Amino acid sequence: MGDGAGVGPEVIVGALLDEATTRRCRPVVIGDAARLRKAADVLDVHADVVAVDSVDDAVTAEGRINVIDLGLLPADLPWGTVSPVAGDAAYQYVRVASELATSGAAQAICTAPLNKEALHAAGHVFPGHTELLAHLTGTEEVSMMLAAPTMKVIHVTTHIGLVDAVAKIEPGLVERTVRRGDRTLRDSGVQSPRIGVCGINPHAGENGLFGHGEEDEKIVPALEVLRADGIDAQGPLPADTAFFLATRGEYDLIVAMYHDQGHGPVKVLGIETGVNITVGLPVIRTSVDHGTAFDIAGTGKASADSMVEALRQAAHLCG
């Protein structure tokens, strides 16, 4: 359910009352039943929020929302406020969901947004869901993929500063990231993925004019290995044109070197329909591509479109 003080409860209620969602999957919320009822009141919709003991107890019925209720939130939790109580609850929701997925009781995890400040205030020091799920599943390395209607982007580095990101990029990491992206696309039905790999510097260094040879040192060796293995990885490409070419259909996946290089173009295309997919976990995980939106939490203004799409992609990835 994410952070209960944010828009997570509202987008969950909106998405689970969408008939398209229940046609695709049998969703079970890990969260707080009372908070979901409050969210339904905020949205002025009728929702039959039913607490269940297990995934197997969930029943698909019009207007029904099944929830494994951990009961961790106080009734008077204010909307739009950083709370260590909500931060700890968000952690516990992910922990339980991870246990259900790794045991096979659930086939995928779909996350509503958490608040990093609240998570840290509760003593759980992780940059976000991606790193938390890697920790909970014992996964050494994962990648973040963002999916928009006309473009998919996978990131070599994510939640670290730009200077640290450039230092962290090396051929092995680039190669592993591209392989994870290629495998994910093939698993989703793309037979021969066309992958565009961004450079680090403007114009991908323009033959040494910009930067200090980072493309030749950190990216080109990886691409040579990948192409020798039959993976269609092109680059290093100037980032300012790579994303445009992807929206035109020339690439199935773009590899971004750092967080903002990949996130900016996807969010320009429409934050409401973007989806975050964690690649490399032993379980399927998708998420909305927006934050807790504390400024509008509890107002009923949040769109459920990204959650509907995240659930659709999770169901699709389940095969």
| Whether residue 132 sits in one domain with residue 1 | yes
Instruction: Write down the pLDDT at residue 272.
Output: 65
Are residues 24 and 89 located together in one domain of the fold? yes
Tell me, yes or no, whether 181 and 116 share the same domain: no
Could you tell me if 50 and 156 lie in one domain?
no
Q: Tell me: do 145 and 208 sit in the same domain.
A: yes
Tally of domains within the chain: 2
**Residue 239: alpha-carbon gap to chain centroid:** 22
* Lookup: tokens for 61: 């019925």
Do 243 and 296 belong to one domain? no
pLDDT lower than 70: segments of the chain: 270-272
> What is the value of pTM for the model shown?
0.87
Per-residue H/E/C for the chain: CCCCCCCHHHHHHHHHCCHHHHHHCCCEEEECHHHHHHHHHHHCCCCEEEECCCHHHCCCCCCEEEEEECCCCCCCCCCCCCCHHHHHHHHHHHHHHHHHHHHCCCCEEEECCCCHHHHHHCCCCCCCHHHHHHHHHCCCCCEEEEEECCEEEEECCCCCCHHHHHHHCCHHHHHHHHHHHHHHHHHCCCCCCEEEEECCCHHHHCCCCCCCCHHHHHHHHHHHHHHHCCCEEEEEECHHHHHHHHHCCCCCEEEECCHHHHHHHHHHHHCCCCEEEEECCCCEEEEECCCCCCCCCCCCCCCCHHHHHHHHHHHHHCC
The pLDDT, as a whole number, for residue 79 is 98
* 265 and 298 part of one domain: no
Whether 157 and 169 have beta carbons less than 8 Å apart is answered as yes
130 and 171 housed in the same domain: no
Give the count of beta carbons closer than 10 Å to the beta carbon of residue 191. Answer: 6
**Could you tell me the two tokens for 209?**
């004019």
Answer yes or no: do 72 and 8 share one domain. yes
* Residues paired with 148 in a beta bridge: 151
pLDDT digit string (tens) for 110-153?
Answer: 999 999 999 999 999 998 888 899 999 999 999 999 988 889 99
Q: At what angle do helices 239-247 and 259-270 cross, to 10 degrees?
A: 40
Q: How many CB atoms lie within 10 A of CB 296?
A: 16
Helix axis angle for 220-228 and 171-187, nearest 10°, is 40
List the domain range (segments joined by +) for residue 302. Answer: 1-139+283-319
119 and 210, same structural domain? no
On whether both 126 and 252 belong to a single domain, the answer is no
93 phi and psi angles, rounded to 5 deg = -60, -45
Q: Are residues 119 and 32 in the same domain?
A: yes
Residue 271: per-residue pLDDT:
62
Query: Residue 88's pLDDT is what?
Result: 98
Find the CATH number of the domain harbouring 266.
3.40.718.10
